[in-house]
Amino acid sequence: MAQSVYKLIPSKNAAITVNGKSNVHDWVMTSTGVESVGTFKFNSRNELTNLSAFSFSVVAKSLKSGKSSMDERTYKSIKANDFPKISYKLTYSEVTMVQANKYAIQTTGLLTIAGKTQTISMKVMALVNADQTISCHGTEKLLLTDYGIAPPSFMLGAMKVGNDLVIKFDLNYAK
């Protein structure tokens, strides 16, 4: 079995997006300020069998909505000055082959936002490409209140942000 360390390939295509709602409109923030590394194991047939280590971090102030006032309110809500990074560290994974070169990875890990850490489980879809890079994507739902963040309101309460977030990621790794 071969074990290799893969690092995130920095590109415009590598992104984490945060989708949310308010009583006024839906909103999206995107970050390309992501750092990540993982240790992937392959068997003698070059099939992915295990993800033994994985971590990522996002610079909190790299999340951008295209509206500076919303960005600043977000940074205040997530305490970006005190906790400049959002981070994740894998604690468990189970790899299942879906079809040739495509895998479902059930993961459990520790996600830290605004200084508060929670255990989360998520399903990651992975594709081992012909050039031996690995493309990973997935979606996970989170609650702001799970991280000690009160859903903010603005304009004297006329606009209220919902508690639910949907995190989407599309990341590519190379040895």
157-171 pLDDT per residue, tens: 566 778 899 999 999
Beta strands per DSSP E along 68-151: 85-99, 102-113, 116-128, 134-143
Q: What ranges do the domains of the chain cover?
A: 2-174
CA distances 132 to 5, 40, 149, 164, Å, are 12, 11, 40, 36
> Hey, which residues does 170 pair with through a beta bridge?
15, 137
pLDDT reported for residue 2? 76
Cβ neighbours for 49, distance < 8 A, ≥ 6 positions apart: 1, 41, 42, 43, 95
Question: May I ask the CATH architecture of the domain 2-174?
Answer: Beta Barrel (2.40)
Tell whether the model's pLDDT for residue 154 goes beyond 70. no
Tell how far CA 28 is from the center of its chain.
14
**Long-range pairs, 69-74, Cβ under 8 A, ≥24:** 70/27, 70/29, 71/29, 73/152, 73/154, 74/29
Please state whether beta strands 116-128 and 26-31 pair in parallel, antiparallel, or not at all (unpaired): unpaired
27-54 pLDDT per residue, tens: 899 997 899 999 999 999 999 999 999 9
> Hey, which residues does 58 pair with through a beta bridge?
34, 86
Enter the pTM of the model: 0.90
